[in-house]
Amino acid sequence: MKTSKIIMIVAALLPLILFFLPMWTIQLSAPQYPDPLEMRIFITKIDGDLQSINLMNHYVGMKMIPETIPEFEFFPWIVGGMILLGVVIGLIGNRFLFLIWFWVSAILGCFGMYDFYKWEYDYGTSLNPKAAIKFMDEAGKLITYQPPLIGTQTILNFQATSLPAIGAYVLFLGMVLSIVAYWVGRYEAGHKFPPL
Amino acid sequence: MKKTIFSITAVAISTTMLISCGGAKKGGDSGGALSGKNAEKVYVAPGEYDEFYAFISGGFSGQLSVYGLPSGRLFKVIPVFSQDAEKAYGYNEETKPMLNTSYGFIPWDDAHHPDLSQTKGVIDGRWCFINGNNTPRIARIDLKTFETTEIIEIPNCAGNHSSSYVTDNTEYVIAGTRFSVPVPQKDMPISEYKGNFKGMLSFLKVDQETGEMDLSFQIMMPGFDYDKAHPGRGKSHGWFFFTTYNSEEAASLLEVNASQNDKDFIAAVNWKKAEEYIKEGKFKTMPAKYAHNIYDEGTQMATSTMEKDVKVLDPAECPGLVYFLPTPKSPHGCDVDPTGEYIVGSGKLSANVTAHSFTKMLDAIKNEKFSGEAYGIPIINFEDVLGGTVVQPGLGPLHTEFDNNGYGYTTFFISSEVVKWKVGTWEVVDRKPTYYSPGHLMIPGGNSQKPWGKYLLAMNKITKDRYLPTGPELCQSAQLYDITGEKMELLSDFPTIGEPHYAAGCPAELIQPNQQKIYKLEDNKHPYAAKSEKESRVERNGKDVHIYLTTIRSHFAPDNIEGVKVGDKVYFHVTNLEQDYDVPHGFAMIGANNSELLIMPGQTETLVWEPKQVGVWPFYCTDFCSALHQEMQGYIRVSPAGSSTALSWSLDGE
C-alpha cells in the first residue's frame, strides 16, 4: 500500500481517542482551592469537580453545569462519520480527497469551537436574577462570568484557565497528518516540490 | 517503716528544691544567640509542614491529640474514650455504641499509651492503638481518617495500664492489668488478696487487612500489679515483657506494703509458645462478658457486640510460657532496645536503671539457672540475666526510649531530667533538666527497631512558673529536645491537653499521603442517608419522626418542617452532600439535650431531639461553611401533643 494511503488512514483513525480522552479542560483555582477545580469536556460527557463548581457558581446565579447536552447526541456520530470517511478516502487513495477531508475536519472543528464559545457565553452571562451575590462593573452593569475560550482569565477570586486537552491535540495531529498524506501523495505522483 | 518515711521526706524536699532551682535557672536560659538558634529549629514557616506527627495521649481527658513536630502545633484532638461535643462523638446515634461496655455506656476513660502499628519492627502508619485504663479497653484509630474505628473491652482486668503495645508485625496488641482482682469476680474479703487475686495479660490478635482486633487469649498470672509492658524486638521477637510491682501481694497501703521487696519482677512471656498451647487446646474457656465495638465506614455506624467467653492459659500448667526476671524495687518502665537484646526496667524506687540481657535470659532458661519459683513460674537468677546497670544516673528513673545510634534516654521523675546513656557500656553521656517531673518520653519510632533519632519529647506533669497561670488548674506540657548531637538541647515546650501521658511519633510521610479527603456519597450505606435533595423527606412512625435532612452550601433541605408534636422523638438524619475536601457542615437544634453534629462530606449523622415546648424552633449550621453560612438555617414547627397538624416539609416553598 502506498505510504500516503497509510498516513491518511492513520490520520483518520486518530480521532478515535476522543471517545476515551477529554478534548478540553477548564481549571478554576483560588486561594481556597490549592488543588484547582477541574472540568473536563469529552464528546460524550462532562466530568470533573462539577458539583463543587456548581456550588461556587450558584452564589452569583450561574446555571448548573448540565449533566448532558444535546451535542452529546450527535458529536459522537460526527466524529465517527469523519473517521469512517477518512478511512474510506484513505483506501481510495485520492490525495485531493485527503485535502477535502482536512477542510471538512477544519470546518467542523471551527463549528465545535463556536459551539463551545456560545455555550460558555450563555453559561457566563445568563444569570439568575435572584442570585445571592451581584457584582457590578465600573459602568454599573452586572459583570459576567464567561470563561476564556482559550487561555487564562481572572474571574472574581478564581483564575480560570481553559485549554485544549489531549483529545484536541490528537485530533489536530490527525488533521496535520492528512495534509502530510496529501503532500506525500503528490510526491508519489511525481511532483518533486510539494507547494505549501 | 522509718526508712520509708525518711525517703518520702527526702523525695519531697528534693522535688521542692528542684522546682525552685529550675525557676531560678529559667531566666538564664532565655535570650541570647543560643535560644534564637533554637527558635529557628522549631519554626515551621506558614504553609510548610512539620516533619513528624506526634500522637500524644490526653491521659484523664480520654482523648488522643495530634501534634506536629518540631513546631508543637496542635492539629486535632481525636475523641477515643470520652464523648466529644465538638464532633458529636458519643453523642450522635452512630457513635454512641463505641462507648458501650459490659457496664453500659461509659463516656470517659483514662487514655494512656498510644502505639503505632508496625511492619517488620518499623512503624508503618496504618493504625494507632491506645488503652483505656479505668474501664479496661483498647481502641484502634484509623490513620487514614484519624477516627476511632474500634474499641474492645478487656475482661478479667482492672486498670488496663500495661498496654497497648504492638509486636513487630502488629500480630498482637497486648493489654496487661495493673490491678489484680478476683477472677472471675466474686464477693470475698479483701484481706484474702494474697494467692486469690489474679493478674490477667491479654493478647489481641490484629487482622492485617482490616486492623480488626480479636481477644485471642489471656494468661492468668499471680496477683501482682502489671505496670508497663514492651514487646520483644528483632531477636527477642516472640516475647513480651511486663514489669510488676507489689510482688508482696499487699491489698492496703501499697506505698509502704508494696515497697518491701528489694526486687520485683519483669515477667517474660513467650507468646509464640502461648500460640502453640492454644493450638494444642491447653486453655480453659472462661465465661466473660465484654463489649466489642466496631465502626463501619460503609454504614457509617458503630455496632456493639457483647462477647461471651475467653480462652485462658495458666502458666503453671504451661511450662516455658512465662519466666520472672528479678528487677530492683518496684520497676515501672519496661523498654526494649531496638536490637531486642536489652530489656530495661527502671526501678522507680531504685536509683539504678537495670538492663536484662535477652541472650543471657535464653541461656539461663536453657541451663535452668533458677533461683526459685512463684506460683509455678520459674524465677531466673538476677545475676544470670543482668545485662548491665546504669548506676545512679538520677532520682526516680521511669521510662527509656532509644535513638538509632545506640543510646538510651531515661526520664527521671524526681530529679526532673532526661539522662542519655550508652547501651552496652552503661555510662552516662549527658543529662538535661526538664520542667518538671517528666513521666514518659518519646523519640519517633523510639520503641521500635528503627527510631528516627532527631527529636526527643519529654512529657511533664508539672508546669508551675513555666506559663501564664490559669487559676489553680495549670496545663501540663511537652518539651522538645534536639538529640542529633552528643549533647541534648532543649528546643521548646508547649502545653498539651489533659495529661500527656505517653506519645507515639513517626515521620509525616508515612501518614500524610494516605489521608482520606472525603467520604464518597455513592459508598454511603447509612440506612437513613438522603443522597440527594430529592431524597430528603420526613417520615412518621408512631411517635418517632425521622427527618432525612441534607446539607450543601448554603442550605438545608428541607428547611421548613411542620407536623412535629410535643412528646415525639425526632431523629435528624443529616447527610452532607458535599464532595469537596474540607467542607464539613454542622447542625445544631435549639433545646436539644444533646450536642451539635459535625458531618464530613458524604457522611450521615443522626441527632435525637425530643421537643418539649410548642412553638417554631430554628436549627442552623455550626461550621462556617461558605459566604452564606449565616443564612444556612431552618425552622421546625412543634404542635401540641395530639394536634392534627399534618406532617409537611419544604424548601423555598416547594
Dist CA B565 CA B114 (whole Å): 47
From chain A, the residues in CB contact with B577 under 8 A are: 51
CB atoms B581 and A35 under 8 Å: yes
Q: Touching check for B339 and chain A: CB below 8 Å?
A: no
CB atoms A55 and B628 under 8 Å: no
Residue A194 has a pLDDT of 54
Dist CA B615 CA B536 (whole Å): 23
Identity of the residue in A35, A51, A132 whose CB atom sits nearest the CB atom of B628: A132
Q: Is B544:B569 a contact under the CB 8 Å cutoff? A: yes
Q: Touching check for A35 and chain B: CB below 8 Å?
A: yes
Q: Touching check for A51 and chain B: CB below 8 Å?
A: yes
Residue B1 has a pLDDT of 45
The better pLDDT of the pair A4, B654 is held by A4
Residues B432, B438, B440, B443, CA torsion sign = negative
**Does the N-terminal peptide bond of residue B180 adopt cis geometry, omega within 30 degrees of 0?**
no
Scanning every residue of chain B, which has its alpha carbon at the shortest distance from the alpha carbon of A35? B581
Look at the block and give the residue holding cell 453523642: B91
Q: Where are the beta strands (DSSP E) in B144-192?
A: 147-153, 162-166, 172-176, 181-182
Look at the block and give the residue holding cell 511532483: A191
Dist CA B503 CA B500 (whole Å): 7
CA geometry: angle B334, B339, B344, nearest 5 deg: 20
Dist CA B159 CA B466 (whole Å): 32
Q: Find residue B547's DSSP bridge partners.
A: B538, B572
Q: Which three cell numbers stand for residue B71?
A: 513546631
| Radius of gyration from C-alpha coordinates of chain B | 27
pLDDT band at A142, cuts 50/70/90? confident
Q: Touching check for A133 and chain B: CB below 8 Å?
A: yes
Q: Pick the residue of A37, A50, A51 with the most B CBs within 10 A to test the interface with B by mutation.
A: A51
Q: Which three cell numbers stand for residue B21?
A: 532551682
> Rounded to 5, what percent of chain B is helix, strand, coil?
15, 45, 40
Q: Touching check for B627 and chain A: CB below 8 Å?
A: yes
Scanning every residue of chain B, which has its alpha carbon at the shortest distance from the alpha carbon of A51? B579
Dist CA B390 CA B409 (whole Å): 11
The better pLDDT of the pair A152, B20 is held by A152
Cα end-to-end distance, chain B, whole Å: 82
Residue B555 has a pLDDT of 95
Q: How many CB pairs under 8 A join A and B?
A: 20
Q: Touching check for B580 and chain A: CB below 8 Å?
A: yes
Dist CA B127 CA B511 (whole Å): 10
CB atoms B627 and A59 under 8 Å: yes
For the segment B416-445, the average pLDDT, to the nearest whole number, is 96
Helices marked H in chain A: 3-13, 50-57, 71-92, 95-125, 166-188
Residue B101 has a pLDDT of 98
Identity of the residue in B578, B580, B628 whose CB atom sits nearest the CB atom of A59: B628
Q: Average per-residue pLDDT in chain B?
A: 93
pLDDT band at B346, cuts 50/70/90? confident
pLDDT band at A133, cuts 50/70/90? confident
Q: Is A175:A109 a contact under the CB 8 Å cutoff? A: yes
Provide the CA B78 distance to its chain's centre, in angstroms.
10
From chain B, the residues in CB contact with A53 under 8 A are: none
* Of B494, B490, B505, B486, residue with least CA distance to B443: B505
Question: Other CB atoms closer than 10 Å to residue B599's CB: what's the count?
Answer: 29
Residue B63 has a pLDDT of 97
Provide the CA B633 distance to its chain's centre, in angstroms.
38
Residue B15 has a pLDDT of 46
CB atoms A52 and B580 under 8 Å: yes
Dist CA A145 CA A148 (whole Å): 9
> Rounded to 5, what percent of chain A is helix, strand, coil?
55, 15, 30
pLDDT band at B192, cuts 50/70/90? very high
Residue B570 scores a pLDDT above 70: yes
Task: Name the burial class of residue B346, with classes exposed (0-12), middle (13-18) and buried (19+) by CB atoms within 10 angstroms of its CB.
Answer: buried
Identity of the residue in A49, A55, A133 whose CB atom sits nearest the CB atom of B553: A55
For the segment B122-144, the average pLDDT, to the nearest whole number, is 98
pLDDT band at A136, cuts 50/70/90? confident
Give the minimum alpha-carbon distance from B580 to chain A in angstroms, rounded to a whole number.
6
Look at the block and give the residue holding cell 544567640: B33
Dist CA A4 CA A194 (whole Å): 13
For the segment B353-358, the average pLDDT, to the nearest whole number, is 96
Q: Which three cell numbers stand for residue A127?
A: 444569570
CB atoms A55 and B581 under 8 Å: no
Scanning every residue of chain A, which has its alpha carbon at the shortest distance from the alpha carbon of B601? A52
Q: Is B210:B166 a contact under the CB 8 Å cutoff? A: no
From chain A, the residues in CB contact with B48 under 8 A are: none
Percent of chain B scoring above 90 in pLDDT: 90
**Does the N-terminal peptide bond of residue B164 adopt cis geometry, omega within 30 degrees of 0?**
yes
pLDDT band at B654, cuts 50/70/90? confident
Residue A195 has a pLDDT of 56
Q: What is the pLDDT of residues B332-341, one digit of tens each?
A: 889 999 999 9
Dist CA B649 CA B637 (whole Å): 10
Q: Which three cell numbers stand for residue B352?
A: 539504678
Phi, psi of B403 (to 5 degrees): -100, -170
For the segment B446-465, the average pLDDT, to the nearest whole number, is 96
Dist CA B226 CA B161 (whole Å): 8
From chain B, the residues in CB contact with A35 under 8 A are: 581
Give the minimum alpha-carbon distance from A52 to chain B in angstroms, rounded to a whole number.
6
Cα end-to-end distance, chain A, whole Å: 25
Look at the block and give the residue holding cell 502545653: B495
Residues A131, A133, A138, A140, CA torsion sign = positive
* Amino acid identity for residue B104 in this structure: G
Q: Pick the residue of B576, B577, B580, B652 with the most A CBs within 10 A to test the interface with A by mutation.
A: B580
Give the minimum alpha-carbon distance from B583 to chain A in angstroms, rounded to a whole number.
10
| Radius of gyration from C-alpha coordinates of chain A | 21
Q: Touching check for B630 and chain A: CB below 8 Å?
A: no
Scanning every residue of chain B, which has its alpha carbon at the shortest distance from the alpha carbon of A37? B580
Task: Name the burial class of residue B86, with classes exposed (0-12), middle (13-18) and buried (19+) by CB atoms within 10 angstroms of its CB.
Answer: middle
Look at the block and give the residue holding cell 525557676: B23
Residue B20 scores a pLDDT above 70: no
For the segment B395-407, the average pLDDT, to the nearest whole number, is 95
Looking at chain B, how many residues does it have?
A: 654
What is the DSSP code string of B361-395? HHHHHHTT-EEEEETTEEEE-HHHHEEEEE-S-SS
Residue B11 has a pLDDT of 47
Q: Please give the torsion angle defined by the CA atoms of residues B1, B4, B10 and B14, in that order, rounded to the nearest 10 degrees.
A: -160
Phi-psi category of B22—alpha, beta or left, where left has phi over 0 and alpha has psi -120 to 50?
alpha
Dist CA B393 CA B101 (whole Å): 43
From chain A, the residues in CB contact with B553 under 8 A are: 55
pLDDT band at A196, cuts 50/70/90? low
Residue B545 scores a pLDDT above 60: yes
ipTM comes to 0.78
Residue B21 has a pLDDT of 42
Residue B25 has a pLDDT of 43
Contacts of residue B218, defined as CB under 8 A and 6 or more positions apart, other chains included, come to B156, B200, B201, B202, B203, B310, B311, B312, B313
CB atoms A51 and B581 under 8 Å: no
Q: Find residue B538's DSSP bridge partners.
A: B547
CB atoms B579 and A51 under 8 Å: yes
B79-82 — which CB contacts under 8 Å span 24+ positions? B79/B148, B80/B109, B80/B111, B80/B130, B80/B132, B80/B139, B80/B141, B80/B148, B80/B151, B81/B106, B81/B108, B81/B109, B81/B110, B81/B111, B81/B132, B81/B137, B81/B139, B81/B151, B82/B107, B82/B108, B82/B109
| Lowest-pLDDT range of B22-26, B98-102, B214-218, B543-547 | B22-26
Question: For residue B384, how many C-alpha atoms fall within 13 Å in the half-sphere facing its CB?
Answer: 17
Q: Touching check for B552 and chain A: CB below 8 Å?
A: yes
Residue B224 has a pLDDT of 97
Residue A150 scores a pLDDT above 60: yes
Scanning every residue of chain B, which has its alpha carbon at the shortest distance from the alpha carbon of A34? B581
Residue B176 has a pLDDT of 97
pLDDT band at B6, cuts 50/70/90? very low
From chain B, the residues in CB contact with A55 under 8 A are: 552-553, 578, 580, 626
Q: Touching check for B553 and chain A: CB below 8 Å?
A: yes
Q: Is B213:B205 a contact under the CB 8 Å cutoff? A: yes
Q: Touching check for B646 and chain A: CB below 8 Å?
A: no
CB atoms B552 and A133 under 8 Å: no
Q: Is B509:B143 a contact under the CB 8 Å cutoff? A: no
Q: Touching check for B335 and chain A: CB below 8 Å?
A: no
Residue B12 has a pLDDT of 46
pTM: 0.89
For the segment A86-112, the average pLDDT, to the nearest whole number, is 93
From chain B, the residues in CB contact with A51 under 8 A are: 577-580
